[in-house]
């Protein structure tokens, strides 16, 4: 009797522990991806002079990646720069305006004293106005030259391709001496990826939709041989589901200090409270629900 009582008490204690345990976290398949992937192309067509990076190199935003041949553009820019600094036409116009102004002033005084005809005075006035127009035209030409210099400088700047992000060179598709065609979208020069911040794409069943919230912390377990456990937060919950498969997408965001984690690997995302064990304790076996009562005097078969 004592042995059966101890067994029954042990079963009852185990059921109590199971009933008090929280629901286990469900694990879902996922993949770790770069937060950005950029195809580097030339903004203008040209021959590649040099590519300064190669596959696997780390790059910083603003770093020079590719230079295109730019001899013609450089010469045109230098010519425009020189025209934008020319002073000869402006100084000629200023001198002519000063002379015609002084001439008109003299003619105006003489005409006031009736020493010359009004026709001569009007001719001097016309010469002065023409000199003012020529000076204005010279200044406008210089202003246009400055604008043309800036335009050609921007075109020359486009011959040097810089990195738009901090990241890593994923692939190099062209080499020095090849033509960079800005119209061919199928063949970029380089492909970059930003991995200082990673995105984790998870596919989840529709039943889990109501249990998710933005900012929720999720544990990510990369596949071997990378391994480890990393915390990520929910950033995107798709509002359009796939009815055929009964799933929807979730995007997690995860920092990657020291760039220890590679991108493009499979993983498991552990969501607490989703897909775990039921919280209700299972029923005990029928024969072990309660300890058997000790036989009474009427059941023992012994005389009272």
- pLDDT tens digits along 153-186: 999 999 999 999 999 999 999 999 999 988 887 8
Domain that holds residue 250: 23-36+192-276
Whether residue 283 is contained in a domain is answered as: no
If asked whether residues 246 and 116 sit together in one domain, one would say no
Share of the chain above pLDDT 90, in %: 62
Number of H helices, E strands in the chain: 4, 12
Regarding whether 220 and 153 lie in a shared domain, the answer is no
From 158, 154, 152, 148, select the one nearest 69 (Cα to Cα).
158
Which strand ranges, in their side-by-side order, compose the sheet holding 160-162? 160-162, 64-68, 46-51, 179-180
Residue 207 DSSP code: G
> Residue 232 pairs with which residues in a beta bridge?
218
Within-domain flag for 203: yes
Burial class of residue 214 in the structure, from the number of CB atoms within 10 Å of its CB (0-12 exposed, 13-18 middle, 19+ buried): exposed
User: Do 163 and 55 have their domain in common?
Assistant: yes
Question: Which residues partner with 198 through β-bridges?
Answer: 34, 254
Q: Using the 8-state DSSP alphabet, how is residue 177 labeled?
A: T
Same domain, 178 and 63: yes
Same domain, 45 and 97: no
Confidence grade of residue 24 (pLDDT, cut at 50, 70, 90): low
Burial class (CB in 10 A: 0-12, 13-18, 19+), 153: middle
pTM of structure: 0.66
> How many Å apart are CA 191 and CA 185, to the nearest integer?
12
Rounded to whole angstroms, how far apart are CA atoms 192 and 280? 51
Instruction: Report pLDDT digits (tens) over 226-238.
Output: 989 999 999 999 9
Q: Which of 168, 190, 212 is the last residue of a domain?
A: 190
Mean of the pLDDT values across residues 34-55?
94
Calculated CA dihedral for residues 260, 262, 266, 268, nearest 10 degrees: 20
pLDDT of residue 297 exceeding 50: no
Q: CA–CA separation, 256 vs 159, rounded Å?
A: 33
Q: What is the pLDDT of residue 137?
A: 92
Tokens encoding 249: 């997408």
Q: How far apart are CA 115 and CA 121, in angstroms?
A: 11
Return phi, psi of residue 125, to 5°. -65, -40
Length of the chain: 304
Q: Answer for the pair 173, 192: CB distance below 8 angstroms, yes or no.
A: no
Are 149 and 200 within one domain? no
pLDDT, mean over the chain = 82
Other Cβ atoms within 10 Å of 143 Cβ, number: 11
Same-domain status, 225 and 204: yes
The structural domain count of the chain equals 3
d(CA 21, CA 16): 9
51 and 112: one domain?
no
- Asked which of 190, 207, 235 is the last residue of a domain, the reply is 190
Q: Is 169 helix (H, G, I), strand (E, B) or coil?
A: strand
């Amino acid at each position: 009797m004592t042995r059966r009582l101890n067994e029954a008490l042990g079963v009852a204690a185990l059921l109590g522990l199971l009933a008090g345990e929280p629901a286990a976290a469900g694990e879902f398949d996922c993949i770790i991806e770069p937060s950005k992937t950029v195809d580097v192309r030339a903004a203008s067509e040209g021959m590649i002079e040099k590519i300064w990076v190669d596959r696997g190199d780390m790059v910083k935003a603003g770093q020079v990646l590719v230079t295109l041949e730019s001899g013609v553009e450089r010469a045109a820019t230098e010519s425009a720069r020189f025209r934008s600094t020319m002073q000869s036409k402006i100084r000629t116009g200023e001198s002519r305006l000063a002379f015609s102004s002084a001439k008109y002033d003299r003619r105006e005084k003489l005409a006031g004293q009736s020493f010359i005809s009004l026709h001569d005075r009007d001719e001097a006035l016309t010469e002065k106005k023409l000199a003012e127009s020529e000076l204005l035209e010279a200044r406008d030409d210089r202003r246009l030259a400055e604008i043309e210099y800036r335009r050609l400088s921007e075109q020359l700047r486009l011959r040097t391709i810089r990195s738009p992000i901090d990241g890593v060179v994923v692939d190099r598709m062209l080499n020095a001496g090849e033509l960079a065609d800005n119209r061919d979208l199928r063949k970029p020069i380089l492909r970059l990826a930003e991995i200082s911040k990673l995105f984790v794409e998870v596919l989840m069943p529709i039943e889990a939709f109501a249990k998710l919230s933005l900012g929720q912390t999720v544990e990510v377990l990369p596949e071997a041989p990378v391994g480890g456990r990393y915390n990520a937060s929910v950033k995107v919950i798709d509002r359009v589901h796939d009815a055929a498969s009964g799933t929807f997408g979730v995007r997690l965001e995860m920092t990657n200090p020291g760039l220890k984690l590679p991108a493009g690997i499979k993983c498991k995302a552990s969501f607490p409270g989703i897909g775990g064990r039921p919280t209700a304790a299972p029923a005990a076996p029928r024969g072990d629900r309660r300890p058997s009562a000790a036989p009474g005097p009427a059941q023992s078969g012994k005389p009272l």
